Amino acid sequence: MDARSQDTQNRFPIGDLPGLRALATEAVHAGREDLVAQGLHAAPIDLSTTYPSYDSRGEAARIDAFAADGGELTGPPVYARLGNPTVSRFETALARLEGTESAVAFASGMAALSAVLLARNALGLRHVVAVRPLYGCSDHLLNAGLLGSEVTWTDPAGIAAALRPDTGLVVVESPANPTLAEVDLRAIAHACGSVPLLVDNTFATPVLQRPAEHGARLVLHSATKYLGGHGDVMGGVVACDEELASRLRQVRFATGAVLHPLAGYLLLRGLSTLPIRVRAASATAAELAGRLAADPRVARVHYPRIGGAMIAFEVHGDPHAVIGGVRLITPAVSLGSVDTLIQHPASISHRIVDEPDRQGAGVSDRLLRLSVGLEDVEDLWTDLDGALGAASTDGERRTEEVAGR
């Protein structure tokens, strides 16, 4: 392999193209193959809600075909809820990066998970087996049975025993939000047997982990996070085989949680820098995780074996004072942006999970979640150091107050 290649690990075959291409190359080119022939450089944004057609017999046949098998519409678009060319580009590119046949985009990560649950429920497969922790709202959606599903929570070793004849889905996150706990995807896929395994790959991104290679049948992203990457677009996507994708398209058409074309454009653009953003932020995060682990004010650091740009850590002092003490880092929920964000999961991202379940999943009240961005590592450390200092003096003051009472 050429010594100048930055990407010796992530090379894989692309469709029927000859040879192997690196992920970084695919990230820039996938979903744009037709542009040169059209005399275009940037992908066009198609904002049409409807499309003219003089051939209603032809349209009837195409709609019949979609209703029968949910396959992607061939020929010109019909109506924006059925499909949009700008959004399709993003879907094509994401499927390429995840190494799946297809991908179906939605208005948000939660809309994507909802569509998967509805598609399984429609087959009478209402039972879901899931491993905690999951993102707070995913946990809530499953636990509250809002869409009529019933969940059994288990650990990875208990999955096989938890399966029932009506189990339609197994759900895991790895690294998980917010503790960064990792599971063995290959072993879990094996334990699932014929039940589809859904892996939420939001934290890892296809740059660090491609769950389909380990046997996952559905790979879900909150595209709002790393895929968009700039904190200015909301979206969700499921990468999977065409059989499952066609069911998801039918659900999307019938329930309407479509991704806006402008969001599709921004997500396609986001993918082109995904590998470089994830690698740069991960290098900074690894350095910060090391410094936090060596800091006496920090009780525990969770940093994934596969790396990444997320860090979770528990402080001895008051976690709320750390949030109140940052100046460069943005105190905000969400993650995966070019700027570094910090939040307190027990107060925000996982607040909706009942406290015992939250604690049981390892989300302690002292846990903070840091999404490392692209700033200089020394500037970030200076800010964290100051915020930790504020938290520990606060903690000491509080201890003194209690002692003096």
Ligand X SMILES: *Cc1c(COP(=O)(O)O)cnc(C)c1O
Look up 225 and say whether it is catalytic: yes
Residue nearest to ligand X (CB): 109
The tokens describing 25, both together, are 């190359």
Alpha helix ranges (H) inside 122-241:
136-143, 159-162, 185-192, 205-208
The Cβ of residue 20 has, within 10 Å, a number of other Cβ atoms equal to 12
Cβ of residue 39: shortest distance to ligand X, in angstroms? 35
Smaller CB separation from ligand X, 21 or 302: 302
Give the active site residue among 81, 297, 351, 366: 81
Smaller CB separation from ligand X, 73 or 353: 353
Beta bridge partners of 12: 21
- Taking alpha carbons only, the member of 185, 181, 235, 231 closest to residue 203 is 181
Give the active site residue among 132, 135, 217, 383: 135
Cβ of residue 321: shortest distance to ligand X, in angstroms? 25
Question: How would you classify residue 231: left for phi > 0, otherwise alpha for psi between -120 and 50, otherwise beta?
Answer: left
Give the active site residue among 21, 89, 120, 200: 200
Cβ of residue 222: shortest distance to ligand X, in angstroms? 3
Give the interface with ligand X as residue ranges (CB under 6 A).
108-110, 135, 137-138, 173, 177, 200, 202, 222, 224-225, 234, 236
Smaller CB separation from ligand X, 224 or 284: 224
Smaller CB separation from ligand X, 312 or 388: 312
Cβ of residue 97: shortest distance to ligand X, in angstroms? 17
Question: Between the CA of residue 218 and those of 78, 99, 117, 312, 313, what are the distances in Å?
Answer: 27, 11, 12, 26, 30
300 φ/ψ angles, rounded to the nearest 5 degrees: -160, 140
Q: 3-class DSSP state for residue 310?
A: strand
- What beta strand segments (E) does 79-202 contain? 102-106, 127-131, 150-154, 167-173, 197-200
Look up 164 and say whether it is catalytic: no
Look up 135 and say whether it is catalytic: yes
Give the active site residue among 96, 132, 225, 252: 225
Cβ of residue 10: shortest distance to ligand X, in angstroms? 22
Residues known to be catalytic = 81, 135, 200, 225
